[in-house]
Amino acid sequence: MITITKTTDYNTVRKIAEQTWPKTYGHILSPEQIDYMFDMMYNINALKEQADLKGHHFILAEEEGIPLGFASYEFNYGGEPKTKIHKIYILPETQGKGIGKKQLDYIAEEAAKNKNTILSLNVNRYNTAYEFYIKIGFEKKGEEDINIGNGYLMEDYIMEKQL
């Protein structure tokens, strides 16, 4: 049985990201951009800062104590009743088993408890996860290019789902 729990185990979060990023972004971004972004977003201090200073909540999806994926999210994003999903990754070998949906359902429940009425996320325009988000009820609300430094952009769709 898949369980979803809150976590501060940033080493496990980083380990899952290390295993998912090459498959997720290897056909989209250059190895240099992947390395740059990974170092910027997933060093242990950055993860702690995301939680402690920016209000990100981290969760782990596990089966029999084995971590299979993680997500992070933030309530009241931009001062609105909106929960922003910052990260959601599932180990490649376990994708397609409903784990991502379980994580999103958990986040939706937590959002509702906090009187948030919208789930929001960004997804790379070339990421196949876009179709997954459409299938489970997210709608494309726009596009944005985010300058992350070193000459790199995140080229994303903005997606939202009403709760």
Mean pLDDT of 117-131: 96
CA-to-CA separations, 104 to 14, 22, 39, 135, in angstroms, rounded: 20, 22, 26, 13
Which of 8-12, 22-26, 61-65, 87-91 shows the lowest mean pLDDT across its residues? 22-26
Position 156 confidence tier, pLDDT thresholds 50, 70, 90: very high
**Mean pLDDT over the full length of the chain:** 96
Rounded Cα gap, residues 102 and 96, in angstroms:
11
Position 77 confidence tier, pLDDT thresholds 50, 70, 90: very high
pLDDT for residue 116: 98
Position 65 confidence tier, pLDDT thresholds 50, 70, 90: very high
Question: Which pTM does this prediction carry?
Answer: 0.95
Question: Which residue(s) pair with 144 in the sheet?
Answer: 156
Domain annotation for the chain: domains and CATH numbers? 2-121 (3.40.630.30)
- N- to C-terminal Cα separation, the chain: 25
pLDDT for residue 39: 92
